[in-house]
């Protein structure tokens, strides 16, 4: 690899490395003190649905994210507050550190890495510090407010070694702006979230030291910051330092900095109302403010675009409704295998990657339902990965069959892939597939991945009709390869 020298003035020269564009699937890991109580309210709605339907104040009081346990606990009258009093009395959140550090002695990073490999993932991203401030590594820059507030094992070091042994890339997440060991008030609406986060020099230096330490110690392939970054520092210096050390790395879009002058917005009633109104408009309109900071990819959360996006993006979400493990989620709260594969294919067809989260229990055990979804996705990729890995969007992302079944397109070189999103239960009954508004060369063969022979097909007006000589195997999606048609 060419050795580029970057600084804060030329980071815009950094090109997206092909490995990230080719990878398509990553695994996110949320594991920490919140894995001990493992609780969040269950309402059957994801974050965006709840915010759009009920607004920020309702959302934060009923937050479906178990990893936000501490913030929810700080909201008097919330379900989490009531749950904590019932099960833990007046136990302080920080006291979960003892429970977590004891439980994590059972953790085997090689089992995680093996599972991620079987799932078909090409990279993993570990949460090294979430908003509660607990670090998963013994930093040389310890928390000045809570001595000993860190994991008893070097989780990023052990996991990085394990996943890289499996041939996967390793990324690191860090909660840049929010650290509740430096703040005491809860986030209860959008305005208070914008104002939350320490702007003291002590915290700015703390966060900067941590990112530099993570870069130097673990050589991450991805810098995945969250919620923003404190004002009072030049994030471009961090970016230049990182690229100079790791020109093949990538940086996400969540290093947004809110000026210090805006830090008190949440304290003014009328300004808060205005901020919440504007936030509600964006949520209901589906529009998103575009970050003006440098980034290699964007990160919509529990959201998929409805068209091909030129800028590389990565959808991040849990298999269920939470990132941290929520022991009260049931089968109906998780994506079915069909839904997971359909989501994944849809994302890839529109130039995205999927960063799919696992939420381990406190002892590092990944719940069976999450394991089964990962293994199911991996089995599907074993047969159909040719249409996914290394692919690029075609001229359009989607089409449909005569009977309304959805089709998504990818391409690789001159090969076109038409991916039929088939409900597993319906696959054996499909005998003929008519894809509307698809024009391909008459000489092109049509092949079903996983089968050896070419399929019979013909043009009918503006559609093609594929005839099957035997029933489709039960599968969430079927990939038709059309060489020379892209």
SS3 readout for 293-343 = CCCCCECCECCCCCCCCCCCEEEEEECCCCCCCCCCCCHHHCCCHHHHHHH
Which tokens sit at 77?
Answer: 């009258």
- Mean pLDDT value of segment 210-238: 96
What is the edge-to-edge ordering of all strands in the sheet holding 463-467? 432-435, 463-467, 456-460
Question: What is the b/e burial string over 365-374, where b = at least 16 CB atoms within 10 angstroms of the residue's CB?
Answer: bbbeebbebb
pLDDT value, residue 6: 81
- Mean pLDDT value of segment 329-339: 97
pLDDT value, residue 290: 65
Where does the pLDDT of residue 90 fall: very low under 50, low under 70, confident under 90, or very high at 90 and above?
very high
pLDDT value, residue 129: 98
Which tokens sit at 135?
Answer: 């670090």
**Strand spans (E) along 233-303:** 250-251
Residues 6+ apart with CB under 8 A from 168: 113, 116, 117, 121, 122, 123, 124
Name the residue with higher pLDDT: 452 or 74. 74
Name the residue with higher pLDDT: 262 or 440. 440
Cα–Cα distance measured from residue 75 to residue 63, given in angstroms and rounded to the nearest whole number: 11
pLDDT over 90 at 191, yes or no: no
pLDDT value, residue 1: 38
pTM of the model: 0.95
Cα–Cα distance measured from residue 286 to residue 84, given in angstroms and rounded to the nearest whole number: 35
Where does the pLDDT of residue 4 fall: very low under 50, low under 70, confident under 90, or very high at 90 and above?
low
Which tokens sit at 183?
Answer: 């703040």
pLDDT value, residue 9: 86
pLDDT over 70 at 283, yes or no: no
pLDDT value, residue 286: 56
Cα–Cα distance measured from residue 175 to residue 227, given in angstroms and rounded to the nearest whole number: 7
CATH of region 11-387, choose from 3.40.50.11810, 3.40.50.2020, 3.20.20.80, 3.40.30.10: 3.20.20.80
The percentage of residues in the chain with a pLDDT greater than 70, rounded to a whole number, is 92
Name the residue with higher pLDDT: 444 or 276. 444
pLDDT tens column, 130-181: 999 999 999 999 999 999 999 999 999 999 999 999 999 999 999 999 999 9
Q: Is 451 exposed, middle or buried (0-12, 13-18, 19+ CB in 10 A)?
A: middle
pLDDT over 90 at 236, yes or no: yes
pLDDT over 80 at 48, yes or no: yes
Q: Which CATH superfamily is domain 398-482 in?
A: Golgi alpha-mannosidase II (2.60.40.1180)
Question: What is the b/e burial string over 220-249, where b = at least 16 CB atoms within 10 angstroms of the residue's CB?
Answer: bbbbbbbbbbbbbbebbebbbbbbeebbeb
SS3 222: strand
pLDDT value, residue 288: 64
- Mean pLDDT value of segment 221-228: 97
- Domain range summary for the chain, segments of one domain joined by +: 11-387, 398-482
pLDDT over 70 at 282, yes or no: no
Cα–Cα distance measured from residue 198 to residue 19, given in angstroms and rounded to the nearest whole number: 36
- Mean pLDDT value of segment 432-455: 93
Cα separations (Å) of 64 from 209, 303, 310? 32, 16, 31
pLDDT value, residue 2: 44
């Amino acid at each position: 690899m060419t050795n580029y020298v970057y600084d804060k003035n030329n980071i815009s020269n950094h090109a997206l490395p092909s490995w990230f564009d080719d990878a398509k699937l990553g695994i996110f890991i949320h594991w920490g003190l919140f894995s001990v109580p493992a609780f969040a309210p269950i309402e059957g709605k994801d974050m965006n649905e709840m915010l759009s339907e009920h607004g920020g104040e309702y959302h934060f009081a009923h937050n479906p994210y178990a990893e936000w346990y501490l913030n929810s606990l700080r909201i008097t009258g919330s379900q989490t507050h009531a749950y904590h009093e019932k099960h833990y009395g007046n136990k302080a959140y920080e006291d979960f550190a003892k429970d977590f550090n004891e439980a994590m002695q059972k953790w085997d990073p090689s089992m995680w890495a093996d599972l991620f490999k079987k799932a078909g993932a090409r990279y993993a991203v570990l949460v090294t510090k979430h908003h509660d401030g607990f670090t998963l590594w013994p930093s040389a820059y310890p928390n000045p407010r809570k001595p000993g507030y860190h994991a008893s094992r070097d989780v990023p070091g052990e996991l990085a070694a394990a996943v890289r042994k499996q041939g996967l890339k390793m990324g690191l997440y860090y909660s840049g702006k929010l650290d509740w060991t430096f703040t005491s008030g809860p986030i209860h609406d959008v305005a208070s979230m914008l104002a939350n986060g320490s702007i003291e020099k002590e915290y700015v230096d703390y966060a900067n030291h941590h990112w530099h330490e993570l870069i130097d110690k673990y050589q991450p392939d991805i810098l995945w910051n969250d919620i923003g970054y404190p004002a009072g520092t030049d994030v471009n210096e961090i970016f230049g330092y990182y690229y100079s050390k790791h020109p093949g790395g990538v940086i996400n879009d969540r290093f947004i900095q809110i000026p210090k002058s805006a830090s008190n917005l949440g304290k003014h009633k009328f300004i808060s109302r205005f901020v919440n109104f504007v936030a509600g408009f964006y949520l209901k309109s589906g529009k998103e403010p575009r970050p003006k900071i440098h980034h290699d990819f964007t990160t919509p959360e529990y959201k998929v675009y409805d068209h091909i996006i030129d800028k590389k993006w990565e959808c991040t979400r849990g298999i269920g409704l939470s990132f941290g493990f929520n022991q009260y989620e049931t089968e109906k709260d998780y994506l079915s295998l069909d839904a997971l594969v359909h989501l994944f294919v849809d994302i890839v067809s529109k130039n995205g990657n999927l960063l799919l989260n696992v939420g381990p229990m406190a002892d590092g055990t990944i719940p069976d339902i999450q394991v089964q979804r990962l293994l199911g996705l991996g089995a599907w990729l074993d047969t159909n990965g040719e249409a996914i890995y290394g692919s690029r969007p075609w001229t359009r992302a989607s089409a449909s069959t005569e009977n309304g079944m959805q089709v998504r397109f990818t391409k690789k070189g001159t090969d076109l892939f038409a991916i039929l999103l088939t409900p597993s239960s319906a696959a054996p009954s499909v005998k003929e597939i008519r894809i509307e508004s698809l024009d391909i060369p008459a000489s092109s063969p049509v092949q079903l991945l996983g089968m050896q022979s070419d399929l019979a097909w013909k043009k009918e007006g503006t559609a093609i009709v594929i005839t099957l000589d035997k029933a489709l195997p039960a599968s969430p999606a079927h990939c038709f390869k059309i060489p020379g048609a892209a």
